């Protein structure tokens, strides 16, 4: 098990969490809105009535709210309550409903619509209905194509057929509710191929209809309420649909249409959102297709251009999220990003957050997705070099100094950039760019002269800071000026940073102890129920991963750092042994932690022996051997 790789992969965008466009007003919102309007003024304005309420209905409302007394004076119900003058119930407890007539009518309309919706949901589509719907679409398509061919320069001749085609496409939207029935038939009948062909239609509105249809058909939310058997059938149907889309070059046609859509128009803006949603849907179903999307289309340049937009909106945010997804686990995509100046663009976009925080949660998510995308690609040697050449190290250090929301993410990026066998040059650049001071100020939670307040670094921040320190001690040459400067940090201030390391170590030990107690109880329960044979290697691996998450990973990283410090500085060695002894700990506890670390680290096959690099496993072996000869002085 390669633990380094396990804990060096940024998480996918927060999700389950599929991105949606802002919702249209719901019936509940509309009802609340209407109830907040002054009843009398509302009754006098026909222009404010909701769609579906006729002028007659509004006039009858006024009539019901008015009551002529004997003197001819007009009387209104208190609060314009339409039921105020209604008869009481048998026990005289009815005092009106508190709603105006218009509000009651709105409620009735919504209740009626909800009832019709329920009836529609109950009805199950049959194969006959499905084929009839597909035939209607095919006839509308053929008629439109025929009239466009016959009268290419006279839109009045084919406008009606275009409207029929539009309606036929929209009529297929409910097919997403019956995937197992509809999707195989869509492919078998050739309707899917005809639908994909419409992505080249001259009328952009028809293209937008097709995009919305494909988005609905591939939407993973369509089958969330099905039982397990139905879910499996729907997944198989979705596979047939996705295969059909790929056979018909859907990726290429969809990307080509991104250039045709004008996002200043609302319908086009939503269509762009749906195109990105289609890509997310398909890649979510089959992640291997992410490489096809990037290699066969120009989606990556489009996304890189889109995230550079000065105005932030949903599509810019979605572009950043899709980039993060595409770069997560595809090495070819990472290399193509480097070839398209992606690292320069990422750094340019992130630089805007150096001196300011994101304005809202959506922009915060946008920033995080760009940082995550950058972390995803930094395990590639060529990308590390591009990052260094683009002065990415300097930018991250400046962000750490400025202590805005980007600070935490900058520390994370540096951890990814400096780790691994190819991180030596970035480690050197980090020290030369004076990154040690802001890094250790953050580690110690100290303020600079110009700061009044500071946020306590999160456990995640501490973990990445430890990763940076470990990389510095791994890569910086012995007796080099850069290495001596790192060691000096742990000596200055009466070993305060060494003490901080030991505090982090003690906290990790306590967390690990609690985790081990829980795991041991589970282990005993499994043995009691199923016997010793039930503790398989897979179960042991699961337990080990839980231990890593429960404090072991932090403990091993700290002990790795302490091992280097003990080896290279006698003063630090004496100080560490003294503090360990106070807590009934010793050098043997550090050795035990490193042995477990060494046992679970796999040999990295990517190491280039010609460059003189050494694997992490070999470094650990040498450290353990050297520490055995280090004994505390009496």
More confident residue, 146 or 457: 146
Tens digits of per-residue pLDDT, 204-248?
999 999 999 999 999 976 444 556 668 889 999 999 999 999 999
- Across the range 377-387, mean pLDDT stands at 96
Which has the closest alpha carbon to 123: 183, 174, 184, 180?
A: 174
The interaxial angle of helices 179-188 and 127-150, nearest 10 deg, is 40
DSSP result, 113-129: HHHHHHHHHHSPPPHHH
Identify the pLDDT of residue 517. 96
Q: How far apart are CA 82 and CA 324, in angstroms?
A: 56
Which has the closest alpha carbon to 473: 558, 540, 539?
A: 558
Would you say 514 and 459 are in contact if contact means Cβ atoms under 8 Å apart? Answer: no
Identify the pLDDT of residue 533. 85
Radius of gyration of the chain, Cα coordinates, nearest whole angstrom: 33
pLDDT band at 124 (very low <50, low <70, confident <90, very high): low
Identify the pLDDT of residue 81. 52
Which has the closest alpha carbon to 46: 58, 32, 31, 34?
A: 58
pLDDT band at 465 (very low <50, low <70, confident <90, very high): very high
Would you say 218 and 242 are in contact if contact means Cβ atoms under 8 Å apart? Answer: yes
17 Rama class: left (phi>0) / alpha (psi -120 to 50) / beta: left
The model's pTM is 0.79
pLDDT at 116 over 70: no
Average pLDDT, the chain: 83
Tens digits of per-residue pLDDT, 273-282?
999 999 999 9
Identify the pLDDT of residue 629. 79
Q: How far apart are CA 297 and CA 256, in angstroms?
A: 8
Return all residues near 532 (Cβ < 8 A) that are at least 6 apart.
none
Angle at 278 between CA 275 and CA 282, to 5 degrees: 150
What is the DSSP secondary structure assignment for residue 457, as one 8-state letter? Answer: P
Return all residues near 471 (Cβ < 8 A) that are at least 6 apart.
415, 418, 419, 423, 427
């Amino acid at each position: 098990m390669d633990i380094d790789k396990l804990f060096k992969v940024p998480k996918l965008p927060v999700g389950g969490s599929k991105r949606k466009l802002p919702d249209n007003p719901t019936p509940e919102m509309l009802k609340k809105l209407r109830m907040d309007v002054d009843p009398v003024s509302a009754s006098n304005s026909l222009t404010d009535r909701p769609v579906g309420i006729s002028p007659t209905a509004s006039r009858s409302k006024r009539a019901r709210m008015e009551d002529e007394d004997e003197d001819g004076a007009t009387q209104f119900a208190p609060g314009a309550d339409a039921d105020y003058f209604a008869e009481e119930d048998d026990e005289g407890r009815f005092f009106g409903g508190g709603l105006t007539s218009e509000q009651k009518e709105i409620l009735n309309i919504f209740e009626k619509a909800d009832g019709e919706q329920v009836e529609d949901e109950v009805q199950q589509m049959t194969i006959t209905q499905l084929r009839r719907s597909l035939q209607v679409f095919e006839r509308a398509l053929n008629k439109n194509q025929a009239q466009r061919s016959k009268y290419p320069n006279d839109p009045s001749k084919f406008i009606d057929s275009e409207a029929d085609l539009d309606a036929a496409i929209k009529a297929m939207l409910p097919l997403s509710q019956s995937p197992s029935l509809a999707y195989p038939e869509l492919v078998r009948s050739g309707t899917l191929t005809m639908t994909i062909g419409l992505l080249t239609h001259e009328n952009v509105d028809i293209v937008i209809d097709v995009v919305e249809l494909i988005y609905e058909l591939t939407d993973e939310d369509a089958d969330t309420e099905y039982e397990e058997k139905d879910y499996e059938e729907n997944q198989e149907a979705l596979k047939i649909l996705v295969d059909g889309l790929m056979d018909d070059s859907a990726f290429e046609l969809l990307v080509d249409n991104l250039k045709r859509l004008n996002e200043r128009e609302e319908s086009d803006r939503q269509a762009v959102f749906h195109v990105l949603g289609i890509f997310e849907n398909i890649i979510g179903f089959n992640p291997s297709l992410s490489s096809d999307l990037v290699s066969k289309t120009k989606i990556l340049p489009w996304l890189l251009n889109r995230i550079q937009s000065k105005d932030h909106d949903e599509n810019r945010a979605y572009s950043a999220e899709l980039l993060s997804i595409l770069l997560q686990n595809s090495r070819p995509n990472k290399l193509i990003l480097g070839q398209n100046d992606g690292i320069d663009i990422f750094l340019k976009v992130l630089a805007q957050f150096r001196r300011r925080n994101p304005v809202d949660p959506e922009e915060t998510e946008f920033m995080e997705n760009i940082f995550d995308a950058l972390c995803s690609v930094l395990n590639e040697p060529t990308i590390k070099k591009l990052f260094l050449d683009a002065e990415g190290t300097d930018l991250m250090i400046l962000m750490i100094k400025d202590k805005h929301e980007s600070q935490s993410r900058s520390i994370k990026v540096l951890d990814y950039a400096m780790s691994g066998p190819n991180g030596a040059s970035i480690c050197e650049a980090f020290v030369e760019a004076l990154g040690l001071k802001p890094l250790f100020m953050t580690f110690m939670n100290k303020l600079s002269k110009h700061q009044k307040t500071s946020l306590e670094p999160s456990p995640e921040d501490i973990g990445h800071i430890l990763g940076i320190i470990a990389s510095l001690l791994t890569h910086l040459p012995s007796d080099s000026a850069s290495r001596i400067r790192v060691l000096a940090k742990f000596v200055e201030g009466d070993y305060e940073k060494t003490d901080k390391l030991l505090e982090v170590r003690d906290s990790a030990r306590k967390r690990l102890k609690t985790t081990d107690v829980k795991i041991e109880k589970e282990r005993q329960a499994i043995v009691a129920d199923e016997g010793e044979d039930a503790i398989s290697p897979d179960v042991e691996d699961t337990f080990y991963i839980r231990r890593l998450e429960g404090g072991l990973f932090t403990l091993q990283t700290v002990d790795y750092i302490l091992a280097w410090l003990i080896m290279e500085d006698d003063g630090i060695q004496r100080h560490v042994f003294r503090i360990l002894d106070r807590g009934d700990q010793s050098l043997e506890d550090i050795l035990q932690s490193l042995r477990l670390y060494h046992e679970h680290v796999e040999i990295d096959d990517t190491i280039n022996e010609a460059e003189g690099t050494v694997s992490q496993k070999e470094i650990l072996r040498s450290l353990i051997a050297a520490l055995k000869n280090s004994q505390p002085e009496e």
